Each structure stands twice: as structure tokens, then as C-alpha cells.
Amino acid sequence: MTLRIGTRGSALAMAQSGIVASALAKASGDEVELVAISTEGDHSKASLSSLGGTGVFASALREALLADECDLVVHSLKDLPTAAYPGLRIGAVPKRVDARDALVSRDGVALDALPEGAKVGTGSPRRVAQLRAFRPDLDIHDIRGNVDTRLARVTADLDAVVLAVAGLTRLGRLDAVSEFLSLGRWPSAPGQGALAIEVRDDSSNALTAALATLDHQSSHLAVLAEREVLAQLEAGCAAPIGATAVLDDELLFLSATIYAIDGSSSLTSSHALVVEGSRQERLQLPAELGKRVADELLRLGAAELAPLGVTS
């Protein structure tokens, strides 16, 4: 039997899916092949916010999965809308890699040492808000394209770009990093650094069992908590929200920050709970934690600070 993994065709997506393919082949004993699927987000040059958020990358993959063009699909979890998709479920969340953002600049200059008015590129409203909060003088440019395209802009027309450490890691490009941005000061997108393996509800018991061996529970619990904040706030996955969840000695800690688009202000909420019970019971707890954080953000005025109520 051959298992078909649907994936975007970018170098990063293929690298991520290749990691899953190797692990799945070992767990299942089956042959595994990658099926490249084109998405609207890969072709359009428009900004992600104008396209409706990063969910544009997931739609074509999900349609191909439901059409039985593949047996499972691999998403960057931060690109996956929080709303349930009829007929599909997340079969596994492999171990998360570094969730931080990184600055890549000319001559390895750190963010606080960039010249006044430096041109910095990012396609993320969250990163825009964070950059403006830290350095209001920066000239922020909206950029699109794959990792290599963005890196090339640093030597072409920009002074720096901000990228996810996870993507640079999976492509073997950590050498380009000028500065790693700490999660304490620069919380990244909910789910950043993690992958989601999505399958049909009627997937075989054999595939379900194989995927269970790939699932990393602490990573799974953390990203569920982070994504619940987005769901409760009815915010799209491109919203100016950073969230970080960590499971430490059975205590799940979650902190989330929402930013004004112009970086002028922000709100933060942090809560924790003990994770206990059966695996199924444990997987229900992050939703409770995420709701606590989101409810507090709303009480503090999140709806007046940033555009909410439009999910991607």
C-alpha cells in the first residue's frame, strides 16, 4: 500500500512533508509519496490580509483530501484556520520545533542596531505591530514569497526581514539569522513551529494508529491552547495576536498578547492549569485554558484594540 501525502509545492512545504513522510513510512511500514497541490496563496501576489488570511493555503489541500487525491495532508499549523472542517480532523501534531521569530539583516545587525528608518519586510500583521511598538521609526514593507525570495530581498532592497525560525531550520538556513527574537518579548503566531497532519474522518484504523505514534502530546496540548485564543476571539490566523503555551511538569501555561495594528498599545493575559486524566480528557483542557485567556483579553478591551470577529 502507498500512502499519499498532500502538500504545497514550496521548498519549505516539501521539506516539512518529507519529514512527516519519513516518520510515517517507519511507523506504518508502507510506501509514502508526496503529492504537490497548488493553492491560491501560492499564486496570488496580494497581501495575506486581502486574500482572507493564511487560510488560503489550507483550502486547496483540504479539498484534495476530501476528493481522495491524497490520504493525508501536512499543514504549517499557524496557517490552519481554527474552525472545524466538515469531514476532516487533525490526526497528529508532531513534536514542535523552535517557535520563535528571527531577524535576518544586512551584515548581521540586530534589531535595535538597525539604522533609523531602516526598511524591514514582513507579511504578518502581528510582526508589523510588534516592530512598530519596538521601533516606530522603521519603514515596514509588506512582502510575500517563499523563504529564499524573502532572504534575497535583504541584499536587494530591504535592510532586514523577519521570518519564522522553524522554516529556516527545516530549510537548513539558520546561518542567515542575525538575531533570535525571544518569545517573552516577541510572542509568535499561535501554532508557529508546529505541523498539523490532517486526515478524513473515515481514515483507516491502520493510518490512525500510525499517526498516533507521530503525535507529540505536549506539543499538541500547547498548540490547542494557543489556537483556542484565536477561536474564542473570532480572530483570523493572520490577526495581530501572539501566543505561547508551554507544558512543564503537568502544568500548562498560556500567555497571549493582542496588538493595535499600529503598535501603539497591546494587551496581555496569562493563565495556567494542571493537565491530568486520560489522553482524551487531557486534550479537552487546552480549550478551557484558551477560553480563560481570551475572556480576560475581551474584558480588558481587545475588541476595541484590534479587528476581531473575522475568522480565516
What pLDDT, in 10s, does the model give residues 7-31? 999 999 999 999 999 999 999 999 9
Rounded CA-CA distance 77/81 in Å is: 9
Q: What number of CA atoms fall less than 13 Å from residue 179's CA on the CB side?
A: 18
What cell numbers appear for 67 in the block?
A: 476528493
**b/e map of 209-244 (b: 16 or more CB within 10 Å)?**
ebbeebbbebbbbbbbbbbbbbbbbebbbbbbbbbb
What pLDDT, in 10s, does the model give residues 258-296? 999 999 999 999 999 999 999 889 989 999 999 999 999
Q: 80 in helix, strand or coil? A: coil
Rounded CA-CA distance 38/19 in Å is: 20
Catalytic residue flag (residue 79): yes
Strand positions, DSSP E, the chain: 2-7, 31-36, 72-76, 88-92, 101-105, 119-122, 139-142, 160-164, 179-181, 195-200, 241-248, 251-259, 266-274
Rounded CA-CA distance 42/200 in Å is: 24
pLDDT band at 224 (very low <50, low <70, confident <90, very high): very high
Task: Please report the domains of the chain, with CATH numbers, ordered by start residue.
Answer: 1-95+194-215 (3.40.190.10), 101-181 (3.40.190.10), 217-312 (3.30.160.40)
Rounded CA-CA distance 129/195 in Å is: 25
What pLDDT, in 10s, does the model give residues 254-265? 999 999 999 999
What pLDDT, in 10s, does the model give residues 161-193? 999 999 999 999 999 999 999 999 999 999 999
Out of 30, 42, 71, 79, the active site residue is: 79
pLDDT(47) > 50 = no
What pLDDT score does 55 carry? 62
